[in-house]
Amino acid sequence: MHRSSILASLAAAAVFIATNARAQIVLGDSVTAPVSTVSMAISSTVAFYLDEKDLLPESVAYDPKDKSFYVGSTRKGKIVRVDAEGNATDFITPRQDGLWMVIGIKINPTRRILWACSYDGENLKGFKPGDTRASGVFAFNLDTGKLVRKWTLETPGEVHAFNDIVVTRGNDAYVTHMFDEAAVYRISDKTQTLEVFARPAGLKDANGIAITPNEATLFVAGADGIYVVDRATGASKQLQPADDDPLGGIDGLYYYRGSLLAVHMTSVRRHRLDEKNTRVLSTDVLETNHPLFDTPTTGIIVGSDFYYVANGQFRAVQKDGSLLPLDQLNEPAILKLHLN
């Protein structure tokens, strides 16, 4: 068969598999067999599905106390709790306490706080475009769901968007801010003040953020690469990529055993770092072109497993703000990827 015909056949097979993935894959399945010739490296299994096709999830967090997962919805402005038995309920109800799209979420299990980044954006039901867009960081009581405190930015003529967050053991929060200003904000547990912490030179569209286990260093994903930020001083520098290993276009970003785990547009990769966190030595592609991928976004490392959103389905939002019909959408899936 001619090379172009082979590629066309493989592409068609990939579309067919992605379209019919919900029927073929069930809880715990290994999906290597159906797509091995297309993806070459399918290793994630399905941790759980959510019934709400129009959830448009962006984030997932985990509470080790009761083994519950939390999933943030960009469409409905709410947070769903999935208990250890797989039962899903609204933990934070739609638009509760002024929530907009729910983007990055993190849990401080000791302090019993669920942190959430939120902003007024296109995915949100009822969104009305304008020159001004508000954003906020919300802290909820993890046991009751009640709002502890929120910090918001709403400036006439400016677009604000808090994107992702990491939280220290002492409950200091570091938050990425994109669009009109690319920066890292900080909320100190001591002062409870939202303030700009760092503006790395060259950073654009700040997205995922990670922190080292000793909490000395932050890593921030931007449109053109990853930036390393000293938590003591706020000084920053760009992480040097390995040869032929671009570091742009990353959404979720996580530190794991001397490396950065990154969710790219069509893959999950492990970027191994040198001892000084100055450059990437090598990259392992852990997952690519999974049949359930439809805008994979962010996740959470639990032990040696990575749980992440497979299908945000943001393409479903039409220009007028409506969604594609539900029969054209799939149930949101959280995938599980074992890390060596």
Locate tokens 């400016």: which residue?
158
High-pLDDT (> 90) share of the chain, % = 84
Number of domains forming the structure of the chain: 1
- Tens digit of pLDDT for each residue in 11-45? 333 433 344 444 333 333 333 333 222 334 579 99
Beta bridge partners of 80: 71, 90
Give pLDDT, residue 246: 85
Give pLDDT, residue 243: 85
Region 43-68: mean pLDDT is 97
Looking at the predicted structure, is the pLDDT value of residue 161 above 50? yes
Q: Which residues, including other chains, have CB under 8 Å from residue 87's CB and lie 6 or more apart?
A: none
Q: How confident is the model at residue 340 (pLDDT cuts 50, 70, 90)?
A: confident
Locate tokens 């920053």: which residue?
236
Give pLDDT, residue 41: 56
If you write DSSP's letter for every residue of 147-210 in order, what string do you get?
Answer: EEEEEEE--TT-B--EEEEEE-TT--EEEEE-TT--EEEEE-TTT--EEEEE--TT--S---EE
Provide the residue range defining the domain that includes 48: 3-338
CA distances 315 to 10, 179, 231, Å, are 23, 20, 36
Give pLDDT, residue 180: 87
Give pLDDT, residue 6: 30
DSSP letter assigned to residue 265: S
Comparing 221 with 245, the larger pLDDT belongs to: 221
Locate tokens 């942190």: which residue?
115
Handedness of CA 91, 215, 101, 319 (dihedral sign): negative
Give pLDDT, residue 37: 25
Region 313-333: mean pLDDT is 97
- The first and second tokens of residue 57, run together, are 């999830």
| CATH at residue 99 | 2.130.10.10
Give pLDDT, residue 21: 41
- Tens digit of pLDDT for each residue in 291-304? 999 999 999 999 99
Handedness of CA 25, 30, 34, 39 (dihedral sign): positive
CA distances 70 to 30, 106, 304, 307, Å, are 24, 9, 19, 11
Q: Which residues, including other chains, have CB under 8 Å from residue 310's CB and lie 6 or more apart?
A: 44, 290, 292, 293, 294, 296, 332, 333, 334, 335
**How many C-beta atoms lie closer than 10 Å to residue 132's C-beta?**
12
- Tens digit of pLDDT for each residue in 254-265? 999 999 999 998
Q: Which residues, including other chains, have CB under 8 Å from residue 309's CB and lie 6 or more apart?
A: 57, 58, 59, 60, 71, 296, 297, 298, 299, 332, 333, 334, 335
Give pLDDT, residue 42: 75
High-pLDDT (> 70) share of the chain, % = 88
CA dist 84 and 155 (Å) reads 41
What's the mean pLDDT when you consider all of the chain?
Answer: 89
Give pLDDT, residue 200: 96
Name the nearest CA neighbour of 63 among 302, 306, 268, 288: 302
CA dist 297 and 45 (Å) reads 16
- Tens digit of pLDDT for each residue in 201-219? 999 999 999 999 999 999 9
- The first and second tokens of residue 124, run together, are 């949100």
Q: How confident is the model at residue 131 (pLDDT cuts 50, 70, 90)?
A: confident
- Tens digit of pLDDT for each residue in 70-117? 999 999 999 999 999 999 999 999 999 999 999 999 999 999 999 999
